[in-house]
Homo-oligomer: A and B are copies of this chain.
């Protein structure tokens, strides 16, 4: 089943596209510029040795993704784009990887909550889930990496489960981290990871939650 990645020509979107394509899922890279989407899809297919990825405009990508749409749109402008294509998101799960930038305190809403609020205000029925905030593009580009988790935050249990299944496909573990508001903490962790990257001179730190599986 096809999966759209809005803003999919960015590093995070490309990383996710590679992972899902390797898991034999058809991926539609959405872009503001459909030609750019197609160009990057061609490059990813060359890397993959397959034809799993195609490029499109964001609206067309969302329309072609039947159940779940993933957004790696950058913070700047993501609400505007989501409003613009809201009709294509109606009735679907929207997995938001976007992070409010620069990271603010947890007293302020996360990018995922702002997306939910904007779609609600348009009367659209979109179940928004936050995921992938803490996962770096560098990690996604690797074919093997340390066991790493994806924090999954959302108010709808089925939507969280659907997201978790997509995470499983790409060799990461989804950890249910509570309601959508908890995306604020996922964003805060990402801010901390960027500082940790800098301190250690690395680029792709992430997190693992220990102690979930009774040992």
Give A contacts to B, CB under 8 Å: 105-108, 136, 138-139, 144-148, 151, 175-178, 182, 184-185, 188-189, 191-193, 195-196, 199-200, 202-212, 214-215
Contact = CB atoms under 8 A, between A and B. Distances in A.
A145 B148 CA distance: 17
A51 B75 CA distance: 57
Given A147-B210, A205-B212, A185 B191 contact: yes
Given A185-B188, A188-B185, A191-B185, A196 B215 contact: no
Contacts of A139: 210-211
A175 B167 CA distance: 26
**Max chain B C-beta neighbours (<10 A), residue from A148, A206, A210:** A210
A200 B212 contact: yes
B211 A136 contact: yes
A150 to B, nearest CB: 12
A192 B177 contact: yes
A189 B185 contact: yes
A129 to B, nearest CB: 15
B178 A148 contact: no
Number of this chain's copies in the complex: 2
Given A146-B210, A205-B210, A185 B192 contact: yes
A98 B209 CA distance: 21
Contacts of A196: 175-178, 209, 212
A193 B209 contact: yes
Contacts of A176: 196, 199-200
A94 to B, nearest CB: 22
A204 B106 CA distance: 24
27 contacts: A105-B107, A105-B184, A106-B188, A136-B211, A139-B211, A145-B210, A145-B211, A145-B215, A148-B211, A175-B196, A176-B200, A177-B192, A177-B195, A177-B196, A178-B192, A178-B195, A188-B188, A188-B189, A193-B209, A200-B212, A202-B212, A204-B211, A205-B211, A206-B209, A207-B208, A207-B210, A208-B209
